[in-house]
Amino acid sequence: MTSTRKSSIWHPFTQHALHDRMTRIVRGEGAYLYTADDRRIIDAISSWWVVTHGHCHPHIVRAIQNQAEQLNQIIFAGHTHDPAEEVAAQLLTLAPRGLEYVFFSDSGSTSVEVALKMALGYWHNIGVPRTRIIVMQHSYHGDTVGTMSVGARGVFNKAYEPLLFDVESIPFPAAGCEQATLDALETACKTETAAAFIVEPLILGAGGMLMYPPSVLKEMNRICEAHDVLFIADEVMTGWGRTGTLFACEQAEVTPDIACYSKGLTGGSLPLAVTLCRAEIYDAHYSSDRSRMFFHSSSYTANPVACAAARANLELWQHGAGERATSLPAMQECLIAPFRADARFENVRRTGTITALDLKASDAGYLAGIGPRLQAFFARRNLLLRPLGNTIYVMPPYCVTEADLKEIYAAIGDAADELV
């Protein structure tokens, strides 16, 4: 098939042969996006899960403007700057106790790549031959080669299979089957080459907004500790209040060996990520032998403007921003509850500020035929909702109003009326 070119831009996760007309957005404010023809769209998924306090939050915008006038970029090898130092120090007061070092990068995928390299570098540098990574079924950790390798195999990465390294996979802890997951993890951890277990705490995002309880997360961490397997928490999506606490691991009283944070780190304003680790992982790379250094960087590591945005975001959390994140779960629960009695839906669920439900359809999964039809329906209702196939989820900025939420859930019900 030959394209009929309208723009030179190739958009992410977009089949241009089926969807080649992009919605042009000219500004954002709070929970809303505005189009070139002045339509107001409710951003019900936080623009791919990144916006926390709302679009163009004045405090963060001012911080970006001020920093851009002082220092906008500096190589981070051999140099540092106040925004990075202050962000790192503040993060260590907020993150689970026991994490002591902060490595900056620029996206969720790269923060996970860093975590994997930290883990393998640790075992290499202490002279123990551990190289096997344990993962969870249906997981998603990014789109780089390393992060695809530790994510679920399927339509997302089938074309790139020759590039991916082998991993050990354990089943998702579906309700009633939790022990099978724990037993599988125990068996995998007993393997002499098991280096690390990586998991999305409490919610698997792109895998279908699959949810499991803190008790399972706590037990998985205990198993890893018992077998000296590094525990990596990918909180790229689950961090910054999404699950009802600042970080999901708090609910299980878990301190991971390595933690990955991004998305809401800057309030969703600029790309920035961090990978936090325990001291022993840093110490394994600390040596007068330069060959033992941590070999990772990007040109924009700890970009000063992005760090200034993160510093402003952390200031908002210090001054009450979390109160809105703690009130949103009750609003979400009130509005999703009626769908539990609606026979057209199944697996109606909520964790913290995130809700999800599966529309019963003849096909399911990411490529379910109902997915594009749902997305088009919601677009006609001026809602930014991007279902994962037949799974509809709501993950709004914390500034969303009750009236906005009622509009969102009314449209979900109407979608079932019209499309099923």
Q: Is 8 within the bounds of a domain?
A: no
Which residues, other chains included, contact 229 with Cβ-Cβ below 8 Å and sequence gap of 6+? 134, 189, 194, 195, 196, 197, 223
Domain that holds residue 39: 25-56+322-419
Strand 210-211 with 203-204, pairing: antiparallel
Asked if 256 and 362 sit in the same domain, the reply is: no
Q: Is 97 within the bounds of a domain?
A: yes
Are the C-beta atoms of residues 138 and 208 closer than 8 Å to each other? yes
- The CA distance from 356 to 361, in Å, is 15
Q: Is 15 within the bounds of a domain?
A: no
Q: How confident is the model at residue 19 (pLDDT cuts 50, 70, 90)?
A: confident
pTM: 0.96
Q: What angle do CA 394, 31, 89 make, to 5 degrees?
A: 90
Rg of the chain in Å (alpha carbons) = 21
- The CA distance from 64 to 310, in Å, is 9
342-352 burial by CB neighbour count: b if 16+ within 10 A, else e?
eebbebbbbbb
Q: How confident is the model at residue 5 (pLDDT cuts 50, 70, 90)?
A: low
Q: Is 361 within the bounds of a domain?
A: yes
Asked if 262 and 299 sit in the same domain, the reply is: yes
Final residue in a domain of this structure, among 291, 318, 345: 318
% the chain with pLDDT above 70:
99
Q: What angle do CA 19, 21, 22 make, to 5 degrees?
A: 105
Asked if 364 and 225 sit in the same domain, the reply is: no
Final residue in a domain of this structure, among 318, 345, 370: 318
Strand 168-170 with 101-105, pairing: unpaired
The 10s digit of each residue's pLDDT in 120-171 is 999 999 999 999 999 999 999 999 999 999 999 988 899 999 999 999 999 9
**Residue 409: which CATH number?**
3.90.1150.10
* pLDDT at 4 (0 to 100): 58
Are the C-beta atoms of residues 100 and 279 closer than 8 Å to each other? yes
Asked if 243 and 376 sit in the same domain, the reply is: no
HSE (CB half, 13 Å, CA atoms) of 191? 18
The 10s digit of each residue's pLDDT in 266-325 is 999 999 999 999 999 999 999 999 999 999 999 999 999 999 999 999 999 998 887 888
Asked if 207 and 279 sit in the same domain, the reply is: yes
Size of the chain in residues: 420
* pLDDT at 375 (0 to 100): 96
Greatest Cα-to-Cα distance within the chain, rounded to the nearest angstrom: 67
* pLDDT at 2 (0 to 100): 56
Residue 66 CA: distances (Å) to CA of 28, 111, 256, 303: 20, 27, 35, 14
Give the SS3 label for residue 64. Answer: helix
Q: What angle do CA 352, 308, 45 make, to 5 degrees?
A: 30
- The CA distance from 139 to 101, in Å, is 26
The DSSP line for 184-216 is HHHHHHTSTTEEEEEE-SSEETTTT-EE--HHH
Give the SS3 label for residue 253. Answer: coil
The 10s digit of each residue's pLDDT in 363-372 is 888 888 999 9
Asked if 212 and 229 sit in the same domain, the reply is: yes
Asked if 337 and 300 sit in the same domain, the reply is: no
Give the SS3 label for residue 279. Answer: helix
Q: Is 18 within the bounds of a domain?
A: no
Number of domain units in the chain: 2
Q: Is the pLDDT of residue 1 over 80?
A: no
Place of tokens 């037990």: 219
Q: Is 17 within the bounds of a domain?
A: no
Asked if 351 and 331 sit in the same domain, the reply is: yes
**Residue 106: which CATH number?**
3.40.640.10
Locate all alpha helices (DSSP H) within 271-397, ordered by sequence: 279-283, 304-318, 321-336, 370-380
Asked if 248 and 155 sit in the same domain, the reply is: yes
% the chain with pLDDT above 90:
91
Strand 194-199 with 230-234, pairing: parallel
The 10s digit of each residue's pLDDT in 65-91 is 999 999 999 999 999 999 999 999 999
* pLDDT at 365 (0 to 100): 83
